[in-house]
Amino acid sequence: MTTTKTALVTGASSGIGEATALKLISLGYTVYGAARRTDRLQQLAERGLRPLAMDVTDDDSMRNGVDRIVSETGRIDVLVNNAGYGSYGALEDVSQEEARRQFDVNVFGAVRLTQIVLPHMRARRSGTVVNITSMGGKIYTPLGGWYHGTKFALEALSDCLRMEVKPFGIDVVVIEPGGIRTEWSGIAADNLEKSSAAGAYTGQAKAVAASLRSETMARRMSPPTVIADAIGKAVTARRPRTRYATGFSARPLIGLRRFLPDRAFDTLISRSMGLPR
């Protein structure tokens, strides 16, 4: 058992998860980094990370991981639900199987892991649950319906959870990344082409895939460390903000969505992604 605070970060093998794990280690946390494949975590282990094999779609995997953390440290002070991916494709084209998998990973996995962790936080009457949503939980893009659906859902679930666990001294924080320099865009483009590269939505698919892979856009993206820094601020604050929107275009686009009429925002997004008229 330890008096050092303990954090669990899912999707820790790369990108935002990796940067967050390293940030929390630098802040003095004992950090468990979870991923389906722990071989990608070994280099991080040399920097103080404790690798943890976990699949957020497997209940036993999550229970075993949490049990191990509690048995080794006696506590879980921070849970960062970061595991997720982008499944793009026209709503008409994406299979129900893939749509369910998107929700299983991005929503149900995060919520189920939170359910398993919360009793340990309640017992200590303290803790912080950090849910990584996206500016895509406030805005929308064509061919991203299932992905945006998961992020909109996680935003709402986080708001409800924040009110429910407040009496137990537990904070719930939403992180809304903008454009971040990770593998996410390439994976989303690959999924898009599998679903909609041929058929009625070919023109839109080509434009959106090109936008996701654009080198110009990639150069504008923020490094994952900006998200890690926001998480670091949130978990060390006496009274953290409920939301942190950061990274390329996050605040401007969320602001525009709030004030622009729907069709005006449709036009803005369509032009920015080079959609055929």
| Whether residue 216 has pLDDT greater than 90 | no
pLDDT at 119: 98
Distances (CA, A) of 263 to 208, 267, 268: 19, 6, 9
The answer to whether 242 touches 162, Cβ cutoff 8 Å, is yes
For residues 233-257, average pLDDT: 96
pLDDT tens-digit map of 224-233: 999 999 999 9
The closest of 274, 255, 268, 175 to 217, measured between CA atoms, is: 274
Q: How far is CA 271 from CA 122, 209, 268, in A?
A: 48, 14, 5
Amino acid at 40: R
Residue 71 and residue 91: Cα distance in Å, rounded? 44
| 140 flagged as catalytic | no
In sequence order, the β-bridge partners of residue 80 are 9, 130
Give the CA angle between residues 172, 177, 179 to the nearest 5°.
175
| Catalytic option among 32, 140, 147, 201 | 147
Contacts of 126 (CB under 8 A, 6+ apart): 77, 169, 170
The 3-state DSSP class for residue 42 equals helix
How far CA 4 is from CA of 69, 116, 130, 235, in Å, comes to 13, 21, 19, 14
Over residues 21-40, mean pLDDT: 95
Selection from 135, 120, 119, 96 nearest residue 248 by Cα: 135
Full DSSP string of 89-103: S-TTTS-HHHHHHHH
Q: Are 79 and 127 in contact (CB under 8 A)?
A: yes
Q: Which of 86, 83, 101 is nearest to 11 (CA)?
A: 83
Tell me how crowded residue 39 is: count the other CB atoms within 10 A of its CB.
10
User: pLDDT confidence of 213, banded at 50, 70, 90?
Assistant: confident
Task: Give the closest residue to 258 by CA, choosing from 139, 155, 144, 150.
Answer: 139
pLDDT attached to residue 62: 98
Q: Binning pLDDT at 50, 70 and 90, where does residue 276 land?
A: confident
pLDDT confidence of residue 3: 73
Token output for 277: 């008229």
Selecting among 23, 151, 201, 244, the annotated active-site residue is: 151
Assess whether 88 carries a catalytic annotation: no
- pTM more than 0.75: yes
Residue 260 amino acid letter? L
pLDDT given at position 2: 63
- At 136, is the pLDDT very low, low, confident or very high (cuts 50, 70, 90)? very high
Mean pLDDT, the chain, as a whole number?
Answer: 94
200: number of Cβ within 10 Å:
11
pLDDT on residue 212: 85
Contact residues for 93 (Cβ-Cβ < 8 A; gap 6+)? 195, 196, 199, 201
In percent, the amount of the chain with pLDDT more than 70 equals 99
- Band (pLDDT 50/70/90 cuts) for residue 13 is very high
Enumerate domains of the chain plus CATH numbers: 6-182+223-255 (3.40.50.720)
Percent of the chain at pLDDT exceeding 90: 79
